[in-house]
Structure 1
C-alpha cells in the first residue's frame, strides 16, 4: 500500500461486498521478482465499432479520447483521440478519420462548448502537450462541428514563471466558474502535481492563467471533472482514485477508491470518465489497466457497482487501456443511450486504435436499472 492511503486507511470506504470473496489469481506461479497476475471477475461487453488505427505503427501511441455530441444530429457526433507521438485525430461514429492535426506529443484530450466574448459559440478542445518535457503546455484547438476539422489555436504555458521543469501528462477540462473565463483546465504533471488554470480570452488569443495546484505522492495521469458535482477525480496509478472538491479556496484531495479487490482496481489505474444522466444519477468509470477491465462506481453512494471488460463479438476487445471517455445521451440507433470510447493498447497486427460501445450494453450487462 502506498503512503498516501496508509494515513487514511481507516476511513476509506468499502467496495462492493459481492466482489470481496471473488478475488481470482490467474497464473499464480511466479519466478524471480515477478508478482502474481491479478484478474478480478468482470462481465464481458462487446465493442460495437472501432476507429481507424492511429498513424504511428509498432508503438504505444493512441492514448486518450474525447466525445462531442451533436444534439441536432446525434449520429453526426464526433470522437477525438490522441496519437501521443504525433497529434490529434477526429473520427466520425463510423470510426473513419475526419481530420488529423499534426501537433506533436499530445497525451490526453478533452473539450467543452464555450461562449466567446463576442457571443459566438465554439467547441474548444484542449490537450496536454509533452513536446517540451521541461515546459508543460496546453495545446488548444477549435473543432468545427460541420466539417469535423480542427484549427490549431496555439500551445499555452500555464505555470508561474520560475517553476521547476515539469512534463505535461494527464489533462481534463471543466466548465467555466466565472463570467470572464471560457473553461477550467487541469494538467496532471509527471511528478504527480495537478495544476488548475483558467482559460480566458487575452490579447486576441485564448490564454491559460494558473490558479492553484494539488500534489499527489506518486505518478498520476487520468483525470475527469464532474461539473454537476463540482469535483475533480484523479487517478494515482499505483494507489487509486482521489476526489478533489473544487468549490473551496484550496484543493484538498480525499480518498475515493484504492487499488485492491475491494474497490475493483488493479494497478495501473488509468483513464477516468463520468457518466451522468439528465436526471442526475451518475457513475465514475475507471480503467483498471492491470487486468484489462473497467470499474464502475455509483457517485451517489461512492460504492462499486460492477466491473466489465470489452470483449466478445465480431470486433476485437481492448487491453492495457489508457484513456477512456463516456457521454450519455442519444447518439443515434447504434448508441441510443450513450457512448463509451476506450483506447486499445493491443490492436495487432494494426496500430493502436479506439473501441466504441453503447452505454445501454454496459448498463444491461451490469444489471443497472
Structure 2
C-alpha cells in the first residue's frame, strides 16, 4: 500500500494527497528485526498501579536547574491518571485523573510575572469528546494540583478520541503555550493555552490531518516545527509558520530504521544540532535522526546491565543538561511495555551513553 497522506490546513480546508512508496507490514507478515546497539538503563520507576494491563504510556521531564538531581518525571497510567517520580524512580505523587494517555509539560510565565510548571495531557475519558487535562506541578514537593479538563474542538465537531499530545512554546500574544492533541483518526488539533479568570483554557486554532492512526508528536521550538508519527507510515514534519502543510521526514522501512508501529517522539537539542528520537515499537528499538536533514544517525535498544530492557515502547522523552552524576549530559526515558512480573513502568537512560554508543557529535 502506498504512503498516503491527506492534510486539512485549518477547519474545512483540504490539500492534495501526497503519495510516497511505503512498506508497512500487512497480512500478519513477520516484522523485520533491524540492527541496533544495546544501551543499558541506569534506572527505572516503580511500576504503575494498574496491573496485568497495557497501562503505562508516556513520560515528561522537568529539569530542576538549581538542583538537577531533584528533577522530576511525570508519567501516565492511561487507565487511572498521572504519576510523579523522582530520579530514583520512587513515586512522589499520584493524581487519579482518569484515562490520561500522553503528557507534556512546560515552564510558563504567568501574568503576575511568576513562573510555574504547567502539565498538560490528552484526556480520553470520554472517547467521543476529546479534552486537554491541565495541572500545576510543584517542583519542590512533586505534587500535582488539578486545573481542569477542557474540551477544545469547535461546537458540533465529529466525535473523536484524544490520543497523542505535545506542547510547544507560545506563538501568539498572551499565550502561555501551544497544545497539540493527536486524535485517533489522524487529526492533529492545535490550540493556544491562555490564562483566564484563574484558569488555563484552550482555544482551538487550526488542524492538520493524516490518513491513518497517529499518536506520537513533539515540537522543536528552535525551528518552529511539529513532528508527528503516523504509526504504520512514518514521521512527518509540519512547519508551524503560516498554513499547516506536512512534509515527509522518515518512513517505515529498513532505510529509515523504522518498523511499524512508530510511536513516541522526542527532541534532543544541542547548540548547532538536534536529534529526533523515535520509538520503533515494531522491533523494540529507537531510531535517532538528524532533525534538520532527516538522515538516520543510528539505532539503539535498551538492553544489558542490571536493569531489564524494554519492549513495545509507547512514549519516550529526552531532556539534555546536567541531571546529576548518573545522567551528566541528559536524561532519556522510555515506557516499558513488558516489565513482568510487575506492572509496566519507565526506564531511565543516560543521554551520554546513547550519544557515545551511536557516535553522535
Q: Where in structure 1 do 4 or more consecutive aligned residues deviate above 4 Å?
A: none
- Structure 1 partner of 2:347: 355
- Structure 1 partner of 2:14: none
How many Å apart are 1:179 and its aligned residue? 2.9
Task: Work out which of the residue numbers 102, 106, 113 in structure 2 matches 1:112.
Answer: 106
Contact 1:141 1:153 in 2 (8 A): yes
Matches within 5 A, 1:219-238: 219-238=213-232
Contact 1:2 1:239 in 2 (8 A): no
How many Å apart are 1:8 and its aligned residue? 4.2
The answer to whether the aligner puts 1:158 opposite 2:183 as a matched pair is: no
- Structure 2 partner of 1:272: 265
Aligned partners of 1:186, 1:2: CA distance in 2, in Å? 27
- Structure 2 partner of 1:303: 295
Matches within 5 A, 1:320-331: 320-331=312-323
- Structure 1 partner of 2:357: 365
- Structure 2 partner of 1:60: 54
- Structure 2 partner of 1:343: 335
- Structure 1 partner of 2:4: 4
- Structure 1 residue runs without a partner (length 5+): 13-31
Contact 1:232 1:245 in 2 (8 A): yes
Q: TM-score by structure 1 length?
A: 0.92
Aligned partners of 1:105, 1:268: CA distance in 2, in Å? 21
Aligned partners of 2:259, 2:269: CA distance in 1, in Å? 24
Contact 1:8 1:255 in 2 (8 A): no
Contact 2:328 2:352 in 1 (8 A): yes
- Structure 2 residue runs without a partner (length 5+): 6-16
- Structure 2 partner of 1:214: 208
How many Å apart are 1:255 and its aligned residue? 0.5
Aligned partners of 1:33, 1:220: CA distance in 2, in Å? 20
The answer to whether the aligner puts 1:76 opposite 2:70 as a matched pair is: yes
**Coordinate RMSD, CA, aligned:** 1.4
| 1:18-49 deviation per Cα after TM superposition (whole angstroms, max 9, x unaligned) | xxxxxxxxxxxxxx953123100000000010
Question: SS of 2:232's equivalent?
Answer: coil
How many Å apart are 1:118 and its aligned residue? 1.1
Aligned partners of 1:185, 1:297: CA distance in 2, in Å? 24
The answer to whether the aligner puts 1:285 opposite 2:277 as a matched pair is: yes
How many Å apart are 1:141 and its aligned residue? 0.3
Q: TM-score by structure 2 length?
A: 0.94
